[in-house]
């Protein structure tokens, strides 16, 4: 084999290394041998369901997709190599607003736009060599898919888990649609950027709140999820323990509905500091008071236009008006004025709060504005660093009670219990648990979505369609007039028969929130052609997903809804596990100039340009090399070029090796010292790569290791014939180790080194523990704590022998000369310290 580096780095001519041809050949082989088909019949413990979040078919893959799908692919390919029966499917989250916008703009039906995009993106994915089992592909706009969503919705409806309710919604005046709270960013629509209005509309809701407690507690067992994601989910569910306190309403009969007012508080310890009560504008008490008070009615009306989502209620300007009524304090009998306030939500707690301006910031701001009394009842604990200055802000920390009569001196817990008991004793309070989580409003006033399978009959009301009439098919040949959904004017769609009385009826024109489709797609991949019912036993076999890979932007809603659906499906007997995703990998972002890469970055953001120029493997390798998966990083094309050069060099190296003399059989005893060192490096790389792929989920380090191994092979002196076997082994390992990341080039190299199989479906080599054992190790020698030398020793050397060797080192000798060694400290495998004096 060649020994000089200049030789091995010689650039093979372009036709000797043609990624396009290498990739086409590998892909053709995988297709011909159906290499990535998952087996539904394999032994249960061998299955590995590897899933990357399916994309919205926007038209082009972007760098974020390339990162996500390459990561998932690397994980899945490694699992296949270690013998797992891997299911790695792909499909399309195909409903959604952009298709409608494109239709409106360019006059293309959304279905056609979507199908064209899917075709293009599928081709791009195939060119990247992802090991998907394409036989399971589907798009959520396929009637065979959404039919089951309709079916399931009706099941839930019949179980009482769906209800219809008029409710305030965030209305985007530009997109003409309802937005979820989280689609409202700074009071504006997330897509349109238009200020959001509040409107009332009848909506369908799924009772996710029935599952709030389980959705919360089950997080504790999700060991494979990042802590940060679990904490975001916990906050979103927002469980709080508090009490419901009943205040009397002055001058109303105590036993009438108007005679009491319930508030929810998490701070009963502040009860003696309540100086007024506040109710939501929609609260019955406010509505009743407004009947005789036009000014109040006008105020309540103006609150409807609050352009804010819940998250912003803390920051909006506080506005309110007194109702003229008073509440009666349950402990002191004192009269407290009742106000209407714009920051009190009707659908949280009881829609009313006891206001404690000294200890709640919103109440404090409100009290300052309307000149209401502020009474301090909590002081910081003596040993705390907190300070209380009510001229500047409320004191919101826990502390010790003051100005609270017999409760003075109690801490938070003591006061919580004592005051709760006192209230309970007089029937004025009971402990409750509240969740910030709301039921899931699934209606969207849009065309390009799954039709909600409900029927409006003048006689029977709103009723579910018959199962036998499913799917309610979304008409795909439509023309848009403005942004309004074409469904609202399409007679072919609208006219139907009432499933109850058989009379003429009208179809519901709202479609589902597209989060519905993405909440169960993973399970459908397991049984993509199941016809009776939505999932069959294959879903039980494959779920839960073993590794789920996706963007951090889905950390809350998508994952929460999918977890909810999994539990719903479990309760229908469709799956038999409690959670859908065992391990979760949340990716960092691909950045350009410090912000998320987007179409605006032009060619740089288009992976196709890079694939065409450098080949898919170079793009994949650069992407994996750039950063650990959960970190965001700045994208640079230079990285792709660098990896392309490396792959080419590695190819040349393998080619040169196989062109030389055949390697002898490996005999570790015959290896030179350098040959042994190479062998150790190769086995170490294999060992560590296995850990990186399988446990650490860090692939940048794998790429570096292959770089190093390739260099080490190149640096091995070529004068000892038996070492050639170590080189053969090292090259073979380099090829296998790199194969999940750069699957095409490595398949080519695999064939070059004489293998006839498909590398992707062969197996990960075993590490030889003997190869990892070091003959000698280096010990750092210190004299009085300062490094004075290094010695080569046997790994198991004892302190005396090490000292004797160390004293043979000239430099160490210099510092010990004329002194006595008083103490010898050996840290095995690391250092030897001689204490002299
Ligand atoms: C009195 C009080 C004193 C409060 C104090 C806080 C601090 P979480 O933890 O989110 O559950 N609240 C109750 N219902 C409300 C509604 N419908 N709209 C707006 N605010 C409402 O928050 C519970 C606290 O939020 C409750 O405790 C209540 O204010 C307020 F020093 O009651 B508190
Ligand atoms: Zn009817």
Ligand 1 site, residue 344, Cβ cutoff 6 A: yes
Alpha carbon distance 167, 170 (integer Å): 10
In the predicted model, is pLDDT for residue 13 greater than 50? no
Q: Ligand 2 mean position to 711 CA, how many Å?
A: 78
Give me 377's structure tokens: 């009842």
Round the average pLDDT of the chain to a whole number and report it.
92
Q: At what angle do helices 616-626 and 63-81 cross, to 10 degrees?
A: 90
For ligand 1, atom 7: residue with the closest CA: 360
Alpha helices by DSSP H, listed for 371-453, are: 412-425
Asked if residue 415 has pLDDT above 80, the reply is yes
Tokens 């499906």 found at: 569
The reply to whether ligand 1 has any atom less than 6 angstroms from the CB of 267 is: yes
Residue nearest to atom 25 of ligand 1 (CA): 265
Could you tell me the distance, in angstroms and rounded to a whole number, from the CA of residue 5 to the centre of ligand 2? 85
Distance 620 CA to ligand 1 centre (A): 50
Ligand 1 pocket test, candidate residues 348, 350, 397, 415, most atoms within 8 A of CB: 348
- Name the band, by pLDDT with cuts 50, 70 and 90, for residue 599: confident
Ligand 1 binding pocket mutation candidate from 239, 244, 267, 438 (most atoms within 8 A of CB): 267
The strand pair at 633-634 and 590-592 is best described as: parallel
* Pocket flag, ligand 1, residue 399 (CB < 6 Å): no
Q: What is the 3-state secondary structure (H, E, C) of 127-153?
A: HCCCCCCHHHCCECCCHHHHHHHHHHH
DSSP string, 664-679: PPP-GGG--HHHHHHH
Q: How far is the CA of 506 from the centre of ligand 2 (A)?
A: 10
Quick one: which ligand is closest to 497's CA?
2
User: Does residue 359 have its Cβ closer than 6 Å to ligand 1?
Assistant: yes
Q: What is the CA(497)–ligand 2 centre distance, in A?
A: 8
Instruction: Please give the pLDDT value at position 314.
Output: 63
pLDDT tens digits, 163-189: 999 977 788 888 777 776 667 888 888
Give the pLDDT score at 3: 38
Dist CA 220 CA 214 (whole Å)? 10
Distance separating alpha carbons of residues 537 and 526, to the nearest angstrom: 9
Q: Which atom of ligand 1 is nearest to the CA of 378?
A: 31
Ligand 1 proximity of 604 Cβ (cutoff 6 Å):
no
Dist CA 673 CA 776 (whole Å): 10
Residue 10 pLDDT greater than 70, yes or no: no
At residue 312, the pLDDT reads 59
Q: Over 80: is that where the pLDDT of 12 sits?
A: no
Ligand 1 close to Cβ of residue 361 (< 6 A): no
Pocket of ligand 1 contains residue 349 by CB under 6 Å: yes
Which numbered atom of ligand 1 lies nearest the CA of 349?
A: 14
**Counting runs of H as helices and runs of E as strands, what totals does the chain give?**
26, 32
Pocket test for ligand 1, best of 309, 360, 394 (most atoms within 8 A of CB): 360
149 CB burial (10 A radius; 0-12, 13-18, 19+): buried
Q: Does the beta carbon of 270 lie inside 6 Å of ligand 1?
A: yes
Cα 579 from Cα 756, distance rounded (Å): 41
Q: What is the atom index within ligand 1 of the atom nearest the CA of 348?
A: 17
Distance between Cα 464 and ligand 2 center (Å): 11
With cut-offs at 50, 70 and 90, classify the pLDDT of residue 760.
Answer: very high
pLDDT at 221 over 70: yes
Q: Which two tokens stand for residue 503?
A: 């009379």
Q: Which pair of tokens denotes residue 597?
A: 């890469």
For residue 266, the ligand 1 atom closest to its alpha carbon is 27
Asked whether residue 345 carries a pLDDT value surpassing 70, the answer given is: yes
> Which residue from 194, 183, 199, 167 is spatially nearest to 311, judged by alpha carbons?
183
Please tell me the distance from the alpha carbon of residue 583 to that of residue 577, in angstroms, as a whole number.
Answer: 14
Alpha carbon distance 732, 260 (integer Å): 80
Give the pLDDT confidence score for residue 305 in this predicted structure: 58
Instruction: State the average pLDDT over residues 687-693.
Output: 98
Distance 504 CA to ligand 2 centre (A): 8
Kindly provide the residue ranges of all beta strands, DSSP E only, lying in 412-460, ordered along the sequence: 429-435, 440-441, 443-444, 454-457
Whether residue 393 is predicted with pLDDT greater than 50 in this model: the reply is: yes
Is 216's pLDDT higher than 70? Answer: yes
> What are 764-815's pLDDT values in tens digits?
999 999 999 887 888 999 999 999 999 988 888 999 999 999 998 999 999 9
**Minimal-distance CA residue to ligand 1 atom 22:** 266
Site to substitute for ligand 1 among 313, 353, 365, most atoms within 8 A of C-beta:
353
Q: Which of 266, 312, 397 gets mutated to test ligand 1 (max ligand atoms within 8 A of its CB)?
A: 266
Q: What's the first-to-final CA gap in the chain, in angstroms?
A: 54
Q: Is the pLDDT of residue 660 over 50?
A: yes
Q: Is residue 11 pLDDT above 50, yes or no?
A: no
pLDDT of 2 reads 38
* pLDDT the model gives residue 44: 65
Supply the residue whose CA is at minimum distance from atom 32 of ligand 1: 265
| Ligand having the closest approach to the CA of 353 | 1
Pocket lining: 353 vs ligand 1, CB cutoff 6 Å: yes
Q: From the CA of 455, which ligand is nearest?
A: 2
The count of C-alpha atoms lying within 13 angstroms of the C-alpha of 686, restricted to the half-sphere facing its C-beta, is 25
Interatomic CA distance for residues 333 and 267, integer angstroms: 19
| Residue whose tokens read 């523990």 | 769
| 295 CA to centre of ligand 1 in angstroms | 27
Cβ 358 under 6 angstroms from ligand 1: no
**Measured between alpha carbons, how far is residue 821 from residues 429, 788, 797, 837 in Å?**
78, 15, 19, 7
- Ligand 1 close to Cβ of residue 151 (< 6 A): no
Residue minimizing CA distance to atom 27 of ligand 1: 265
Percentage above 70 pLDDT, the chain: 96
Which ligand sits nearest to residue 464's alpha carbon?
2
* Per-residue model confidence as pLDDT tens digits over 439-470: 999 998 889 999 999 999 999 999 999 999 99
**Centroid of ligand 2 to alpha carbon of 164 (angstroms):** 18
pLDDT tens for residues 119-178?
999 999 999 999 999 999 999 999 999 999 999 999 999 999 999 999 777 888 887 777
Residue 66 scores a pLDDT above 80 = yes
pLDDT for the residue 747: 98
Whether 435 is in the pocket of ligand 1, judged by its Cβ within 6 Å, is no
**Cα 530 to Cα 138, 539, 814, distances in angstroms:** 12, 10, 81
Question: For ligand 1, atom 31, which residue shows the shortest CA distance?
Answer: 359
CA-to-CA distance for 788 and 813, rounded, in angstroms? 9
456 Cα to the center of ligand 2, angstroms:
8
Kindly give the residue spans of alpha helices, DSSP state H, lying in 138-201. 143-158
Could you tell me which residues are beta bridge partners of residue 242? 432
**What's the average model confidence in pLDDT over 248-262?**
92
Burial of 390 (0-12, 13-18, 19+ CB in 10 A): middle
Residue 354 CB–ligand 1 contact under 6 Å: yes
**pLDDT value, residue 482:** 65
Residue 583's SS3 state is strand
Ligand 1 mutation pick, 265, 271, 395, 412, max ligand atoms within 8 A of CB? 265
Starting from the CA of residue 504, give the closest ligand.
Answer: 2
Q: How far apart are CA 368 and CA 391, in angstroms?
A: 10
- What is the per-residue pLDDT across 278-330, written as a single tens digit (0 to 9) for each? 999 999 999 999 999 999 999 999 887 554 455 556 677 899 999 999 999 99
Give the ligand with the smallest distance to the CA of 460.
2
Range from 61-65, 181-185, 650-654 carrying the lowest mean pLDDT: 181-185
List the residue whose alpha carbon is closest to atom 19 of ligand 1.
Answer: 344
Question: Which ligand lies nearest to the CA atom of residue 458 in the structure?
Answer: 2
* 266 within ligand 1 shell (Cβ under 6 A): yes
pLDDT per residue as tens digits for the range 265-277: 999 999 999 999 9
Q: 265: CA distance to ligand 1 center in Å?
A: 5
- Find which of 5-9, 398-402, 530-534, 601-605 is predicted with most confidence, using mean pLDDT: 398-402
Please tell me the predicted confidence (pLDDT) of residue 625: 97
> Tell me, what's the pLDDT at 528?
96
Relative to beta strand 162-172, strand 85-87 is unpaired
Ligand nearest to the CA of 270: 1
How far is residue 429's CA from residue 134's CA, in Å, rounded to a whole number?
Answer: 59
Residue 651 above 50 pLDDT? yes
Report whether residue 534 contacts ligand 1, using a CB cutoff of 6 Å: no
* Ligand 1 contact via 264 beta carbon (within 6 Å): yes
**pLDDT for res 825:** 93
């Amino acid at each position: 084999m060649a020994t000089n580096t200049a030789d091995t780095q010689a650039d093979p001519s372009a036709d000797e290394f043609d990624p396009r041809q290498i990739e086409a050949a590998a892909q053709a082989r995988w297709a011909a041998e159906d290499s990535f088909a998952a087996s539904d019949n394999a032994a249960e413990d061998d299955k590995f369901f590897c899933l990357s979040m399916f994309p919205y078919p926007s038209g082009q893959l972007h760098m974020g997709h390339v990162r996500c799908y390459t990561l998932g692919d690397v994980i899945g390919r490694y699992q296949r190599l270690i013998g797992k029966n891997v299911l790695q499917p792909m499909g399309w989250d195909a409903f959604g607003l952009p298709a409608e916008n494109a239709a409106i703009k360019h006059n293309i039906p959304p279905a056609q736009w979507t199908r064209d995009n899917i075709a293009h993106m599928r081709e791009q994915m195939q060119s990247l060599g992802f090991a998907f089992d394409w036989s399971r592909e589907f798009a959520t706009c396929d009637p065979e898919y959404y039919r089951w969503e309709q079916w399931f919705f009706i099941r839930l409806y019949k179980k009482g888990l769906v209800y219809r309710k008029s409710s305030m919604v965030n209305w985007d005046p530009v997109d003409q649609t309802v937005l979820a709270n989280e689609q409202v960013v700074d009071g504006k629509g997330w897509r349109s950027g238009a200020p959001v209005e509040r409107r009332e509309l009848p909506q369908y809701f799924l009772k996710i709140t029935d599952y709030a407690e389980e959705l919360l507690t089950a997080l504790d067992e999700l060991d494979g999820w990042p802590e940060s994601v679990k904490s975001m989910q916990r906050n979103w569910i927002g469980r709080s323990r508090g009490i419901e306190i009943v205040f009397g309403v002055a001058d109303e009969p105590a036993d009438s509905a108007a005679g009491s007012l319930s508030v929810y508080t998490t701070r009963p310890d502040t009860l003696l500091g309540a100086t007024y009560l506040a109710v939501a504008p929609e609260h019955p008490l406010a509505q009743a008071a407004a009947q005789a008070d036009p000014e109040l009615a006008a105020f309540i009306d103006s609150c409807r236009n609050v352009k804010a989502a819940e998250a912003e209620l803390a920051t909006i300007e506080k506005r309110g008006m007194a109702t003229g009524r008073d509440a009666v304090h349950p402990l002191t009998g004192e009269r407290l004025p009742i106000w209407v306030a714009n920051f009190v939500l009707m659908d949280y707690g009881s829609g009313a709060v006891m206001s404690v301006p000294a200890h709640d910031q919103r109440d404090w701001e409100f009290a300052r504005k309307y000149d209401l009394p502020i009474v301090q009842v909590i002081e910081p604990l003596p040993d705390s660093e907190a300070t209380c200055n009510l001229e500047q802000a409320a004191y919101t920390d826990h502390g010790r009670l003051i100005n609270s009569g017999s409760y003075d001196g109690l801490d938070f817990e003591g006061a919580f219990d004592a005051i709760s008991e006192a209230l309970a004793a007089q029937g004025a309070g009971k402990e409750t648990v509240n969740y910030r989580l709301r039921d899931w409003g699934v209606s969207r006033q849009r065309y390009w979505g799954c039709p909600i399978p409900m029927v409006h009959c003048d006689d029977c009301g709103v009723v579910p369609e018959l199962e036998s009439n499913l799917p309610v098919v979304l008409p795909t040949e439509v023309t848009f007039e403005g942004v309004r959904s074409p469904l609202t004017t399409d007679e072919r769609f609208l006219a139907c028969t009432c499933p109850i009385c058989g009379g003429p009826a009208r179809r519901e024109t709202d479609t589902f929130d597209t989060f519905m489709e993405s909440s169960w797609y993973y399970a459908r991949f397991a049984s993509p052609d199941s016809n009776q019912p939505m999932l069959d036993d294959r879903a039980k076999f494959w779920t839960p997903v073993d590794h789920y890979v996706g963007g951090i932007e889905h950390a809350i809603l998508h994952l929460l809804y999918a977890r909810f659906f999994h539990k719903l499906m479990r309760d229908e007997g469709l799956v038999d596990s409690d959670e859908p995703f065992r391990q979760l990998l949340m990716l960092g972002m691909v950045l350009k100039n410090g912000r998320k890469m987007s179409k605006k970055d032009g060619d740089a953001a288009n992976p196709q340009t890079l694939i065409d120029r450098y080949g898919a493997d170079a793009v994949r390798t650069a992407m994996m090399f750039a950063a650990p998966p959960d970190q965001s990083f700045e994208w640079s094309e230079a990285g792709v070029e660098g990896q392309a050069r490396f792959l080419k060099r590695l190819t040349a190296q393998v080619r040169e090796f196989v062109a030389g003399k055949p390697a002898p059989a490996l005999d570790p005893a015959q290896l030179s010292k350098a040959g042994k060192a190479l062998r150790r490096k190769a086995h170490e790389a294999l060992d560590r790569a296995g850990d990186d792929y399988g446990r650490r989920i860090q692939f940048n380090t794998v790429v570096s290791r292959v770089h190093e191994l390739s260099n080490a092979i190149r640096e091995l002196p070529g004068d000892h014939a038996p070492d050639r076997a170590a080189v053969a082994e090292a090259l073979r390992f380099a090829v296998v180790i790199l194969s999940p990341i750069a699957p095409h080039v490595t398949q080519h190299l695999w064939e070059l080194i004489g293998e006839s199989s498909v590398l992707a479906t062969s197996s990960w080599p075993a590490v030889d523990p003997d190869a990892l054992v070091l003959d000698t190790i280096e010990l750092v020698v210190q004299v009085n704590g300062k490094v004075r030398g290094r010695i080569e020793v046997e790994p198991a050397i004892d302190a005396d022998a090490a000292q004797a060797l160390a004293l043979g080192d000239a430099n160490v000798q210099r510092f010990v000369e004329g002194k006595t060694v008083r103490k010898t400290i050996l840290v095995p495998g690391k250092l030897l310290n001689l204490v002299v004096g």
